[in-house]
Amino acid sequence: MSHYTPSALPNMRIDAADLLRGIAVAGIISLHFIEHLNFYNFPQPTKLDTAVWDVAFFVLSNKMYAIFAMLFGLTLFVQHDNQARRGRDFRPRFAWRMVLLFCFGLVNLMFFNGDILTVYAVCGLLVLPFVRAGNRVLLAAAVFFGLQPIELFYFIGSLLDPSLQPLNLGSDDLFVAILPAQEGGSWLDVAAAGLRYGLLVNFTWAIEHGRFTQTLFLFLLGLWIGRRRLLYDEGRNAVMWRRAMLWSVVAFAVLCPLRYTVPQMFGQGCASASLTVMLDMWKNLSMTLFYVSAITLAYHRTRARRLLSKVLPYGKTSLTNYIGQSVAGGFLFYHWGLGLYSVCGHTLSLLLAFVFIALQFTFCRLWLRSHKRGPLEQLWHKATWAGSGKSGK
């Protein structure tokens, strides 16, 4: 396919995407609670706490965000394609939608300095030109960002100049500047620090640690998955997902030992740091594809479908749930709220996450009985189509 043409088939609501999104958001919230929402201040950890931390980060860290980012790209395709099938150009409206998402992110920063919505908004605008590109161009761009060009540049540069240092945009200093507000400030102090330093922290940290280019890659991957209709239960998709699940296991078996051996061959310099970021991303991607394949197959082709369907309301209200965890988590762990950071170890923090997710889940089910979208999702939808005279349905 050399150029984009609208799909011949309509893009209905993809239940498998809502399922994956719900699982991803629950995983993200669990990690954030264990981290005390980027406030790394804990009581002395027990052996159980250490085990909980290690297992949670191995199973969830970067994988849940990867699923969330991939589905962002998928949603971009679905929204654009549905409008293109009606002869409308959704790109200007999507750009406005990203402005709105950035504003949601600014609100989120007033409670949690680890917001990802502002980064997604910028990455969404950068990916937008590819929404009508041909498949070859789309895949070539995805491969380019998947190779992590910044880290690759620094790795090659360090081989030519061993004194080269890893990229440092100052995220550590910005992060430290936020800590006093979390530890002893009021909510207004936290909000001011989040807006002043948190926005810069997110972008500088994402660029320094490869997350920015990884996000662009995952957005493009989601676009491609949307074009191929891979999350629908049709055609030979089940065969493709079985193969993806198998090859993801093989890839992980290769990449995991490489991640913990190859960088050490280069000491502690720039080459080692760059390789660590690259191999980490590829290792985590293999686990992400395994999760996506296994969950999609389980939903479409096993008796687990009925149980997994109960997660769909949670995935349909992901924006509300994501921002909700920032408000609730800040209240639970920061000084301006209950200040539980001083008494909650990793295990107890994870249990609090489970309780909070259960409460969110109950709210989502009740809300969606009488509403089509979650509260913030509906606000975002209405604002997206404001002044258009169209519902956007």
pLDDT in tens, 342-360: 999 999 999 999 999 999 9
Instruction: Report whether 63 contacts 117 (CB < 8 A).
Output: no
pTM, 2 dp: 0.95
Q: What's residue 6's pLDDT?
A: 83
Q: What's residue 391's pLDDT?
A: 52
C-alpha–C-alpha distance, residues 118 and 97, integer Å: 12
Band of residue 1 on the pLDDT scale cut at 50, 70, 90: very low
C-alpha–C-alpha distance, residues 314 and 23, integer Å: 8
C-alpha–C-alpha distance, residues 207 and 213, integer Å: 7
Produce one character per residue of 13-42: b if its CB has 16 or more CB atoms within 10 Å, e if not.
ebbbbbbbbbbbbbbbbbbbbbbbbbbeeb
- The answer for residues whose C-beta is within 8 angstroms of residue 191's C-beta and 6 or more apart is 109, 110, 111
| Torsion angle of the four alpha carbons 14, 119, 320, 93, in this order, in degrees rounded to the nearest 10 | -60
| DSSP line for 106-142 | HHHHTT-TT--HHHHHHHHHHHGGGGGS-HHHHHHHH
Local structure of residue 152 (DSSP, 8 states): H
Instruction: Report whether 39 contacts 343 (CB < 8 A).
Output: no
| DSSP line for 179-215 | HHHHHH--HHHHHHHIIIIIHHHHHHHHHHTTHHHHH
Q: What's residue 387's pLDDT?
A: 81
Alpha carbon separation from 305 to 27, 115, 244 (Å, rounded): 20, 32, 20
| HSE of 203, CA atoms in CB hemisphere, 13 A | 13
What is the average pLDDT score of the chain? 94
3-class SS shares of the chain: helix, strand, coil, % to 5: 75, 0, 25
Residue 389 has pLDDT above 70, yes or no: no
Local structure of residue 169 (DSSP, 8 states): -
Q: What are phi and psi of 91, to 5 degrees?
A: -60, -45
Do you know the residue count of the chain?
A: 393
C-alpha–C-alpha distance, residues 309 and 299, integer Å: 8
Residue 170's region, left for phi above 0, alpha for psi from -120 to 50, else beta, is: left
pLDDT per position as a tens digit, 134-183: 999 999 999 999 999 999 999 999 999 999 999 999 999 999 999 999 99
Q: What is the mean pLDDT of residues 324-328?
A: 97
Q: What's residue 9's pLDDT?
A: 79
pLDDT per position as a tens digit, 24-66: 999 999 999 999 999 999 999 999 999 999 999 999 999 999 9
- Residue 380 token pair: 């975002």
| Amino acid sitting at position 336 | W
pLDDT per position as a tens digit, 190-244: 999 999 999 999 999 999 999 999 999 999 999 999 999 999 999 999 999 999 9
Alpha carbon separation from 26 to 60, 289, 321, 355 (Å, rounded): 10, 18, 9, 11
| DSSP line for 61-76 | TTHHHHHHHHHHHHHH
Q: What is the mean pLDDT of residues 6-25?
A: 91
